[in-house]
Structure 1
Amino acid sequence: MSEPLESNEHHRRRVLKALLWTTLVGGIFFGILNIFNGVWMLSALEGFYACVSLALLRIVDRTPRLRFWTLVYLLPFFSIMMAALLLTKTSYTVFAWIQTIPIICYLMLGLRIGSRVAAVFVILGLVAFNYRFTGHNSITDILVISNVALASLAMMLFSHIYERSRMDNERRLLELASTDSLTGLANRMKLSEVFAREQAHAQRNATPLALIFIDIDHFKYINDQHGHDTGDKALCHLGHVLNERLRSTDMLCRLGGEEFAVLLPNTSPKQAAELAESLRLRLQDSPLQLGEIRLTMTLSAGVAYLGRDGKSLDDLMRAADRRTYMAKRNGRNQVVSSDELTADNHV
């Protein structure tokens, strides 16, 4: 199976680690410099936050509460920036750090929370800068604060646009990676992702979960007699016909070639077998129209159940595939729902 694309959380862990190392090294460096400059309070704050950064570096790779610790780190960190602006012995160059707030917030907190945190601290930074560094020349003050405010707004805007574009591109990539390009159905990677979620839900709530494995009968004959273009249309036709019968909570996916699977949350073994049979009948009664040719398609299917046939997706796939092979071996165009082939298992 394909590995899922790198998650947002993993991306943010790496960004947080980079910022923690920057804070650790910068805190030590500027803390020493501020001792020589006599800015004892700021030096103490920088030293303290260097220690905080070192502590967080020890847990950032394994904590499940990444957003919580990110906020625990960022809120005091930004507050120290505000305090630095207000101290009489600090240089106005401290404001350069305020300009990094939007970038940090959007990268580490995402669009919604990041925009809010960034807006609050950028506004506080502008107020602190205006209070601390503007003089008595009203025209000059207006020019200075306007330029600073415009630069801050530009950073906010650029960060927002970047994060929005990044999220949209990531969503499109995930859709492409989890979708079969021919039929538009989910692919095996998506099946793995959804199965993990539904398996956890089934175990937590003691609800059933079933899987149907589907193989188109005589698909090689369709390709050989009518061409691969018709074969592609047959695959799309099956997806369209079966999806019309499935519930919104069910998921039909193409595994590859002429093989498909249907994941059935909250579906008992009896219900899954009945649904598989109704899918078989629906495909059989819905021929593919190709000009004047009506191509009747049939399927063979096997059904497997979480718990009875195993706990993992691979367990269920093996059991359902085995039963599909039994259906094909015993004449095709039938559903097998257990390893004991009986009259109830096939047509």
Structure 2
Amino acid sequence: MDEGLEASQQHRRLVLKALLWMTVVSGTLFAGLNIGRELWLLAVGEVFFVLLALAVLRLVDRTRHLMWVTVAFLVPFFSLMVLAMLLPRTSFTVFAWIQTIPIICYLLLGLRGGFWMSFVFISLAVAAFGYRYQVQESLLSLMMMANVGLSSMAILLLSHIYERSRVRNEARLIELASTDNLTGLANRMKLAEVLERERSHALRDNKPLSLIVLDVDYFKRINDQYGHDVGDRALCHLSTTLSGRLRDTDLLCRLGGEEFAILLPGAALDQAAELANDLRRHLSDNPLDVGAASQVMTFSAGVAALGEDGQSLDELMQTADRRMYEAKAAGRDQVVAAGQQYPLSTPRHL
């Protein structure tokens, strides 16, 4: 979902800003300490990153290319960490900062980008540690490298597992939030998201976009006669029956109760009305099995088109809903679109 993506982007902006402010504070502190120790190369690098962090802070909330800005900051940032390990007079405690690489990468770059950047810089850091702190005793050197390498890879692995689980859980929550529990169809929130996207495409490419709103006729009678379980089956039957007649690009959703909507990208008003009428006949020709009997189902529908009937979801819904009630008032089992009315196929009273 677009909302989910935007929320994820906002989260990463906050994390990046926290990292940048930490860079400003810690970079200023260590630059002063390294100037005192006459570690000029490291001090210059830290001053540079303080200035870079301040510059990036001005971009974080405005940029549309957050990922590239993040990568452009992290690559030299981690490179300075590795370089600090190679300088002869730096403390081995600098490796404590290397251990933060996987956490930072996964928080800012996600699953795939986080893994590859972590793997590359952890590998370089472990190699730099081994080069810098190798000792005469080969077994001791091997143990030091093993401890450093395994602890670093453990942090990388745990960060990867956590991020993968978080992504899956987030995707599942988004799916649940945008899906009707009974029918498995999209709900109104999903409709609003998809309509906004398809509206942008339609306006950009000068293509039509239509919306059908339909309501099951005499649905209360089905509930009263057979019970709510059969009523639920009737709604699922309608969703399955109509879905089989739609394109992959069309979106069938349940608005609530016995009311549904169909979003039709690329379909003009007359095409949408023709499809709605075809769906009406198809549903009528495929009754719901209720034990030894069968229950014929029909619906009344209203159709609205982007532009002439409104620009937003609320406007299109209002127009289509009004026409759907016109179809109900005219006897049900029909479609109304911009004044044109399809007659009843066969009079029924369910």
Answer yes or no: is the 8 Å Cα contact 1:300–1:328 preserved in 2: yes
Contact (CA 8 Å) 2:126, 2:148: kept in 1 or not? yes
**Which residue identity lines up with residue 46 of structure 2 in the other structure?**
E
Shift of the alpha carbon at 1:65? 0.8
Q: Following the alignment from structure 2 to structure 1, what is the Cα–Cα distance between the partners of residues 22 and 196? A: 37
**Distance in 2 of aligned mates of 1:4 and 1:260:** 23
Q: Does 1:286 align with 2:286?
A: yes
* 2:206 matches 1:241: no
Aligned residue in 2 for 1:193 = 193
Alignment partners' CA distance in 1, 2:257 and 2:33: 67
Q: Residue in 1 aligned with 2:348?
A: none
Alpha-carbon displacement from aligned partner over 1:133-153 (angstroms, at most 9, x marks no partner): 112221111110111111111
Partner of residue 77, structure 2: 77
**Is contact 1:4–1:189 with CA below 8 Å preserved after alignment?**
no
Q: Within 5 Å, which residues of 2 pair with 1:214-233? A: 214-233=214-233
Report how far residue 326 of structure 1 moved: 0.7
- Preserved CA contact (<8 Å) 1:217 1:333: yes
RMSD: 1.7
Structure 2 Cα separation of the partners of residues 345 and 187 of structure 1: 30
Which residue of the partner structure matches residue 94 of structure 2?
A: 94
Match of 1:255 in 2: 255
Q: Which residue of 1 aligns with 2:34?
A: 34
1:263–1:20 distance in 2 versus 1, CA, 3 Å:
same
**Which piece of structure 1 moves more, 36-45 or 187-196?**
36-45
Q: Secondary structure at the match of 1:71?
A: helix
Q: What residue is the counterpart of 2:61 in the other structure?
A: 61
User: 1:234-288 CA deviation, whole Å, 9 max, x = no partner?
Assistant: 1111101111111111110001111100011111222211100011111111111
SS at match of 2:32: helix
Identity over aligned residues, as a percent?
56
Q: Within 5 Å, which residues of 2 pair with 1:252-331?
A: 252-331=252-331
**What amino acid does structure 2 have at the position aligned with 1:305?**
A
SS at match of 1:112: helix
Query: Is the partner of 1:48 in helix, strand or coil?
Result: helix
Q: Distance in 2 between matches of 1:222 and 1:30?
A: 75
Structure 2 residue identity aligned to 1:325: Y
Q: Contact 1:3–1:189 (CA<8 Å) still a contact in 2?
A: no
Alignment correspondent of 1:130: 130
Q: CA deviation at 1:226?
A: 2.3
How many Å separate the matches in 2 of 1:193 and 1:346? Answer: 34
Query: 3-state SS of the aligned residue for 1:7?
Result: helix
Partner of 1:337: 337
Q: Show CA shifts across 1:129-181 (max 9, x none).
A: 11111122211111101111111111111111111111111111111111000
Partner Cα distance (1:273, 1:91) in 2: 75
Q: Distance in 2 between matches of 1:68 and 1:312?
A: 33
> Is the contact between residue 336 and residue 346 of structure 1 (CA under 8 Å) also seen in structure 2?
no
Length-normalised TM-score, structure 1: 0.95
Tell whether the 8 Å contact from 1:28 to 1:50 is kept in structure 2 after alignment: yes
Cα distance in structure 2, aligned partners of 1:11 and 1:184: 29
CA distance in 1 between counterparts of 2:172 and 2:272 reads 33
Quick check: 2:182–2:236 contact (8 Å CA) kept in 1?
Answer: yes
TM-score by length of 2: 0.94
2:170 corresponds to which residue?
170
Matches of 2:251 and 2:258 in 1, distance apart? Answer: 17
* SS of residue matched to 2:59: coil
**How far apart, CA to CA, are the structure 2 residues paired with 1:256 and 1:200?**
26
Q: What runs of 5+ residues in structure 1 fail to find an aligned partner?
A: none
The answer to which of 35-44 and 135-144 deviates more is 35-44
Is the CA contact (8 Å cut-off) linking 1:242 and 1:279 kept in structure 2?
Answer: yes
Q: Give how far 1:346 is off.
A: 6.5
Match of 1:46 in 2: 46
Which letter maps to 1:191?
Answer: L
Work out the CA distance in 2 between the residues paired with 1:204 and 1:80.
Answer: 45
The amino acid that maps onto 2:327 is: A
CA distance in 2, matches of 1:198, 1:278: 23
- 8 Å CA contact 1:186–1:254 kept in 2: the answer is yes
Q: Report the Cα offset of residue 292 of structure 1.
A: 1.9
Deviations 1:205-257 (CA, angstroms, capped at 9, x unpaired): 22211111011111222222322222211111110111111111111000111
